């Protein structure tokens, strides 16, 4: 059973492919995926990997991050700077795919080290300045 996000992705991909005036076969060839596999993605029957989405985005000349959000790989509410940083890394034509993945892993490890991992929010004042001290701890 296809998820809502995958169906949304498929409809969006079909629309982008038609806007680019490409046949399914032309896009599949340009993205380096099989025609039947791309057809299944468009019909919401398959959830492609981030790598496949990146190849399709490149072939369509659109943002891979847009496809990642539609596929449910990235959260639409994610910090904009983080998404842009990832986009720049993924779009760099001078890096190999392996190098891009290593850079993304290093980037994520630094974010985690600094308290900004996926799904966590580090709010100002929760740190060493004590401005958000526990109200239970009152001077006596």
CB atoms within 10 A of CB 35: 14
Q: Which two tokens stand for residue 131?
A: 């401005």
Q: Is the pLDDT of residue 128 over 70?
A: no
Q: Is the pLDDT of residue 45 over 70?
A: yes
Q: Which two tokens stand for residue 35?
A: 């025609």
Rounded to whole angstroms, how far apart are CA atoms 35 and 26?
A: 9
Q: Is 28 exposed, middle or buried, given 0-12, 13-18 or 19+ CB atoms closer than 10 A? A: buried
Q: Is the pLDDT of residue 131 over 50?
A: no
pLDDT value, residue 78: 61
Read off the pLDDT of residues 71-83 as tens digits, 9 standing for 90 and up.
Answer: 888 776 666 677 7
pLDDT value, residue 7: 57
């Amino acid at each position: 059973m296809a998820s809502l996000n995958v169906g949304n992705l498929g409809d969006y991909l079909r629309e982008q492919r038609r806007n680019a005036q490409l046949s399914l076969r032309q896009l599949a060839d340009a993205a380096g995926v099989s025609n039947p596999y791309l057809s299944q993605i468009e019909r919401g029957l398959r959830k492609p990997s981030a790598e496949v989405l990146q190849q399709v985005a490149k072939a369509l000349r659109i943002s891979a991050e847009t496809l990642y959000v539609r596929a449910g790989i990235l959260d639409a509410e994610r910090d904009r700077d983080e998404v842009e940083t990832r986009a720049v890394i993924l779009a760099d034509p001078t890096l190999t795919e392996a190098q891009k993945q290593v850079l993304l892993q290093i980037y994520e490890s630094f974010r985690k080290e600094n308290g900004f991992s996926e799904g966590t929010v580090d709010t100002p004042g929760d740190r060493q300045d004590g401005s958000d001290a526990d109200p239970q701890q009152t001077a006596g």
